[in-house]
Structure 1
Amino acid sequence: MSSSYSALSEIPCSKEQVENCIFSRWYPKFKSYVPMTRIIKPLPSEFIRYLEQDGIKLPPVDQELSIYTSDPVGNQANDYSDGEDAQEEEQQEDEIKPLIHFPELHNQIKQVIAELGPVTPKLNWSSPRDAVWILPNNTTKCTEVNEIYLLLNASNYIVHDLEIGQQQGNEFELVLRQWFALNPALEFRVFVRDSKIVGASQRDLNYYKYLESLKDQFKDVFDEFVEETAIPNFPDKSFVLDLYVPRPFNKVYLIDINPFARKTDPLLFSWNELATIENQDDYELRLVPENNVGRFASKEHSENQVPKDVVDASLDPRAIKELTEQWTQLLRRQQEESDSE
């Protein structure tokens, strides 16, 4: 009995290639293709520690911007019981608080929002797209500073950025890009290997019937951007572009540049395919060919979502305290039941 298999193709990716995809490295050369953006760097070490600490600790909000609670957090302290034990007080002393530990950054973020209007945040490489469940609008649209803190604190993608940045000794940066509503059907990922497009994929994995008739038009736009703009201005010969092509489909917006590496999602391709494609006279633009009922039944990044009571609690400091106490009591009861058996 024989079995066929395909050897796993080697796709080397150097530290330099990963660093070339840091937003501030490529943004100046592609500025005209990117929505208006402000980059804040270097970030204070206290801010990084704030993102790494357990839980989500929001600072008091200004009365006119308060969307989470009718009173500033500080005024609610009197509502809590007087029986705060020593351990809780010690934990509170160790907490990183924006208004105390990085007030300059806090004010910088507020100034950018005042200048640009709603923004979408990201760190060196990643946007917290997996954490949109935590905001009422279910997007990365942030109209005030606390929404940015919520997204960054709740995102596994941001945790990954922190890990990679610390491993490689990179300086961290906060990218605040002017927010606009994207049609997910018109987002594409274009794979460039050795200065040639080897494939392109629809990013949103739902079926859109009208895309098929536009394939040639999309490919013309991809070819023009890659050949005339991306390849001459990006230092690596292999990379992955996230592009947005709004109507009338004659201009692209550059959303991101990713390493040509297995850590980047190949979407409708496999990395073995992308690494071994030989005929480069033309390439395939892959689209979802039919409705996938199972796809509509689940939400994107659902593996990172949490119960609604956690979301609700994140918007109210008192609710966070109550939920924490409920969890603590539940764990205590479970432990007592386990000990009695």
Structure 2
Amino acid sequence: MSSHRIFPLQTPDYLLSFQFSSWYPSFSPISIKSTIIRPLSQTFKEYLDSDGIFVPEGSENVPAESSPSDQEDEDDAAVGQSFSFPDLDERIRQIIKEYGAIFPKLNFSSPKDASWVLPPSSPLKCTSPSDVYILLKSSDFISHDLSIDAVFEGCQCDPSNPPSYQLELVLRKWYPIDRSREFRCFVREGRLIGISQRDTNFYDFMNEPQTQNKVLETLQRFWEDKIKSKWHGQQDYVFDVLMTRDLSRGHVLDFNPYAPRTDPLLFTYEELLSVFTQGSSTPELRIIDSPLHPVASRNAPAYQHNMLPMEALALSSGRDINDFSDLWKNEIQQSMNDDD
């Protein structure tokens, strides 16, 4: 049995080396153009932490028309008016003007689970401050970055000397991305050991041997030439890459800790440890090799659980659509009766 741990030691410094502002300056030439906004006000954090989904006053590009007859709209406006970020609004508008369109993230997490709140033809594409805010407010993923306990979960921290952490808003230039060319790469002790397809759809062209060889050759060369010598943190990390259409080059999308919080996708971390201990000089590539692959998407929207009330998900478990429909109608009727 190997003496190697499945995961490296998780320290505050190790985890902080993966927040966006820590790695982007070194890798900006091979990444997506981005702007980091920090510090952020405590009020902005309180807005992200607050209950409900609403837009701060003044963040819309076009002023909303008043609807005095609509009490619900008035209530929402009153809530929005309790938060206002004119300086941040202006900064976001300037960046949108420079980039054309943007998509946001915080130190570690992006609100990709909330992409459904914007048009599906251009997921995560923000053209106003309100788009940015509503994406962040609708996301479960970004809650990780709002809690210092979540950020340093699994670390052995000194209670008398808590790690320093400052929330940051990252605005990245928006591009339409071909998900079939996204890959997640796993590096252990300074060695590239595994590469996984990120999107869980079946792509026929990815099953061609020559295509797989091209992906392997390009990503190994990209890592050796562009990343290996510039990464100055602990030598266990995960990075995401978008390859060019001809599969000859790549762009870094993100870096992630080699830790349980990072999805190993088509691997398990136990399998990655086995690959590492085998000592192969070539990383193992894993792709969705069949429409019947166990994790292949079945035409269901990603993160669909974010699009339904929790009660609906609980009721739907193990039931066909007719049973679920009847139960859900009954649940709604019961709720209405309780309110009477």
* TM-score, length-scaled by structure 1: 0.78
Of the three residues 248, 270, 285, the one matched with 2:246 is 248
* Larger displacement relative to structure 2 (225-234 or 118-127): 225-234
Of the three residues 255, 269, 272, the one matched with 1:271 is 269
Read off the aligned partner of 1:304 and give its amino acid letter: N
Identity of aligned residues (%): 31
* Larger displacement relative to structure 2 (185-194 or 230-239): 230-239
Read off the aligned partner of 1:284 and give its amino acid letter: E
Of the three residues 44, 61, 79, the one matched with 2:69 is 79
* Aligned residue in 2 for 1:147: 131
Query: Would the alpha carbon gap of residues 208 and 72 (structure 1) be closer, same or farther in structure 2, given more than 3 Å must change?
Result: same
Kept in 2, the 8 Å contact 1:206–1:288? The answer is yes
Query: Would the alpha carbon gap of residues 81 and 130 (structure 1) be closer, same or farther in structure 2, given more than 3 Å must change?
Result: closer
Q: 1:52-201 residue pairs with structure 2 within 5 A? A: 52-60=49-57, 65-66=61-62, 72=64, 75-76=66-67, 78-80=68-70, 96-98=82-84, 102-137=85-120, 139-164=123-148, 168-201=163-196
Query: Would the alpha carbon gap of residues 54 and 227 (structure 1) be closer, same or farther in structure 2, given more than 3 Å must change?
Result: same
Kept in 2, the 8 Å contact 1:121–1:176? The answer is yes
Kept in 2, the 8 Å contact 1:50–1:96? The answer is no
Question: Separation in 1 of the partners of 2:190 and 2:71?
Answer: 64
Read off the aligned partner of 2:290 and give its amino acid letter: E
Question: Which sections of structure 2, spanning at least 5 residues, go unmatched?
Answer: 153-162, 310-331
Q: Which secondary structure state, in structure 1, belongs to the residue aligned with residue 229 of structure 2?
A: helix
Of the three residues 23, 38, 41, the one matched with 1:41 is 38
Query: Would the alpha carbon gap of residues 62 and 303 (structure 1) be closer, same or farther in structure 2, given more than 3 Å must change?
Result: closer
Query: Would the alpha carbon gap of residues 288 and 112 (structure 1) be closer, same or farther in structure 2, given more than 3 Å must change?
Result: same
Q: Which secondary structure state, in structure 2, belongs to the residue aligned with residue 240 of structure 1?
A: strand
Shift of 1:306: 2.8
Q: 1:183-262 residue pairs with structure 2 within 5 A? A: 183-212=178-207, 213-234=210-231, 235-262=233-260
Kept in 2, the 8 Å contact 1:241–1:258? The answer is yes
Kept in 2, the 8 Å contact 1:206–1:292? The answer is no
| Deviation readout 1:225-254 (Å, 9 max, x if unpaired) | 222221211122010010000212111010
Q: Which secondary structure state, in structure 2, belongs to the residue aligned with residue 79 of structure 1?
A: coil
Kept in 1, the 8 Å contact 2:36–2:171? The answer is yes
Q: Which secondary structure state, in structure 1, belongs to the residue aligned with residue 98 of structure 2?
A: helix
| Deviation readout 1:124-182 (Å, 9 max, x if unpaired) | 01111000111123611111111111100001111111124776541111111100011
Query: Would the alpha carbon gap of residues 108 and 62 (structure 1) be closer, same or farther in structure 2, given more than 3 Å must change?
Result: closer
Q: Which secondary structure state, in structure 2, belongs to the residue aligned with residue 295 of structure 1?
A: coil
Question: Separation in 1 of the partners of 2:71 and 2:166?
Answer: 42
Following TM superposition, the consecutive aligned residue runs of length 4 or more in structure 1 with deviations greater than 6 angstroms are none
Q: 1:9-28 residue pairs with structure 2 within 5 A? A: 9-28=6-25
Query: Would the alpha carbon gap of residues 121 and 281 (structure 1) be closer, same or farther in structure 2, given more than 3 Å must change?
Result: same
Query: Would the alpha carbon gap of residues 11 and 299 (structure 1) be closer, same or farther in structure 2, given more than 3 Å must change?
Result: farther
Kept in 1, the 8 Å contact 2:7–2:259? The answer is no
Question: Separation in 1 of the partners of 2:339 and 2:217?
Answer: 63
Read off the aligned partner of 2:39 and give its amino acid letter: P
Question: Which sections of structure 1, spanning at least 5 residues, go unmatched?
Answer: 1-7, 308-327, 337-341
Q: Which secondary structure state, in structure 2, belongs to the residue aligned with residue 106 of structure 1?
A: helix
Indicate the RMSD between aligned Cα atoms, in angstroms: 3.0
Question: Separation in 1 of the partners of 2:78 and 2:335?
Answer: 21
